């Protein structure tokens, strides 16, 4: 038995996210982690995240929490601030922005693992929290006891 999803946008609104190419996000800079192989956890709390709701054109506010274990590179904080603040003028859904930040972060510094949470403020009596994570393939293999032969 197949189910048919409801037609999106029952409200008849003109919903357009900012195209990725037009976002003008600041690039994430990195620096060498001088202790590869020594696992540390780095936590960031970003309490003033804002982006624009594609439905209403009103700002969305969130606390972004990001924790990562560096591999060979660490993210540079000023570039992270500039990158995050660039979302202020971007129309993007909560679910998409968290995945975009995760993808950009992984691309920039190739961490062993990263977890991100977007804790969005209440909007219209609904609280939204989005979580996403990434774990490097070699780390997953080691944790599951899979050995690699040369």
Instruction: Provide the residue-wise pLDDT of the chain in tens; the chain has 150 residues.
Output: 555 545 566 666 667 788 888 899 999 999 999 999 999 999 999 999 999 999 888 999 999 999 999 999 999 999 999 999 999 999 999 999 999 999 999 999 999 999 999 999 998 899 999 999 999 987 655 666 654 443
57: part of which helix (H) or strand (E)? none
Taken in order 117, 42, 26, 121, the sign of the CA dihedral is positive
Cα–Cα distances in Å, from 5 out to 14, 17, 96, 139?
A: 20, 21, 20, 37
Residue 149: predicted pLDDT = 44
Give the chain's length.
Answer: 150
* Sequence-ordered list of residues with C-beta below 8 angstroms from that of 39, at least 6 positions apart, any chain: 69, 112
The residues annotated with a catalytic role in the active site are 53, 60
Residue 32: predicted pLDDT = 98
Q: What's the CA gap between 41 and 129, in Å, rounded?
A: 22
Residue 84: predicted pLDDT = 98
């Amino acid at each position: 038995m197949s189910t048919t999803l409801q037609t999106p946008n029952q409200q008849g609104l003109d919903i357009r996210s900012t195209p990725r190419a037009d976002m003008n996000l600041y690039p994430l800079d990195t620096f060498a982690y001088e202790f590869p192989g020594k696992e540390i956890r780095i936590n960031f709390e970003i309490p003033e995240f804002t982006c624009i709701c594609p439905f209403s054109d009103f700002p969305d506010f969130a606390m972004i929490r990001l924790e990562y274990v560096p591999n060979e590179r660490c993210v540079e904080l000023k570039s992270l601030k500039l990158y995050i603040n660039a979302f202020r003028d971007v129309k993007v859904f909560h679910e998409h922005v968290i995945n975009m930040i995760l993808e950009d972060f992984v691309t920039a510094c190739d961490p062993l693992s990263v977890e991100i949470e977007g804790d969005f403020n209440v909007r219209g009596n609904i609280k939204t929290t989005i979580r996403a994570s990434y774990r490097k393939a070699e780390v997953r293999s080691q944790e599951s006891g899979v050995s690699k032969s040369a």
